[in-house]
Amino acid sequence: MKEIISQFEQKLKKEEKELHSDSNANIENIEVELLLDAILKQYGYDFRNYSAASRKRRIKNFLSNTKYSKISELIVHLLYDTTFLEKFIFNFSVTVTEMFRDPSVYKTIRKIVIPLLKTYPFVKIWHAGCASGEEVYSMAILLKEEGIYDKCQIYATDMNDSILKQAKEGIYSIKSLKEYTYNYQKAGGANSFSEFYYSKYDSIIINNELKKNITFANHNLVTDSLFGEMHFIVCRNVLIYFNNILQDRVLKLFNDSLILDGFLCLGKKESLNFSTISDNYQKIADKEKVYQKKHE
């Protein structure tokens, strides 16, 4: 009998703990919604359609680096302190990137996309969600090697001003050099990677020659308007943080910004499948997620 009572008590405690945990989770979800609504109304940044798991994880990560213990305590501080807001936006931004990330993507661009771009007298490329710029400079190197950089204009955008400043400077840790060189070679690099940067102290600095045709600008994919008449749009590993509604909105934005026969490149875990614009495109490289816009 004692054993039965003990088992019952343990089960009861477990259920009470789970109930308390569920209650806390529900309260946190309410706090998240209030926080995002407040930021939207005060500043115009709309994070409501980021995936629920992603936005909650990022907010709690941001919370852990503050003096506050509850999400709701962030609201007043974010509303009145723009510096605090900038830190919050930085935390929300996608900043993970590297030079020639996923080398096979760049090999595909070199083999399939570049030959068509060569046929245009002037080429406009939009790199959306450029983060700290490594992939933007990778594209510039590729265009340089293929002899068309001088007739190209790259628009590199992100919603995070701090990370855009880093991207514009083009200064990266020398600790990453070995990995970047390897990626460059795997991407079909035709020269020595050292031709595109110079070293100073513990950093590598991208050559100014590669920066001259790049415009870095603040642009929020969630709320801002289109970039018109683009020949090539690159947005890799950004859509995975959005829910289906927001993904479709951004893809429509890309569709409206892209010329007929223009190219779109997404991240390896992203796709046009099930989007409202999927019928407008043909797959060029399924694994590398490269698409070409069809004639209407």
User: Domain residues for 278?
Assistant: 103-293
- How many H-runs (helices) and E-runs (strands) does the chain carry? 10, 10
In this structure, the answer to whether residues 139 and 254 fall within a common structural domain is yes
140: nearest Cα among 127, 157, 159, 121:
127
In a domain, residue 177? The reply is yes
Contact assessment for residue 234 and residue 265, using Cβ atoms and an 8 Å cutoff: yes
The answer on 252 and 108 residing in a single domain is yes
Most distant pair of Cα atoms in the chain: their distance: 88
Q: Decide if 36 is inside a domain.
A: yes
CATH code of residue 212: 3.40.50.150
Tally of domains in the chain: 2
Burial pattern 24-42, b for ≥16 Cβ within 10 A else e, equals eeeebeebbeebbeebeee
- Residue finishing a domain among 65, 92, 119: 92
Helix (H) or strand (E) holding 153: strand 152-158
pTM: 0.83
- Residue 27 domain flag: yes
Region of residue 243 (phi > 0: left; psi between -120 and 50: alpha; otherwise: beta) = beta
> Are 127 and 263 in the same domain?
yes
Q: Are residues 131 and 260 in the same domain?
A: yes
Per-residue pLDDT of the chain (296 residues; tens, 9 = 90+): 445 435 434 544 554 454 444 556 678 888 888 888 888 888 888 888 788 888 888 888 888 888 888 888 888 888 888 888 888 887 777 666 899 999 999 999 999 999 999 999 999 999 999 999 999 999 999 999 999 999 999 999 998 888 899 999 999 999 999 999 999 999 999 899 999 999 988 999 999 999 999 999 999 888 887 778 999 999 998 888 888 888 999 999 999 999 999 999 999 889 998 889 999 999 999 999 999 999 76
For residues 45 and 170, state if they share a domain: no
Q: For helices 72-80 and 52-64, what crossing angle results, to 10°?
A: 80
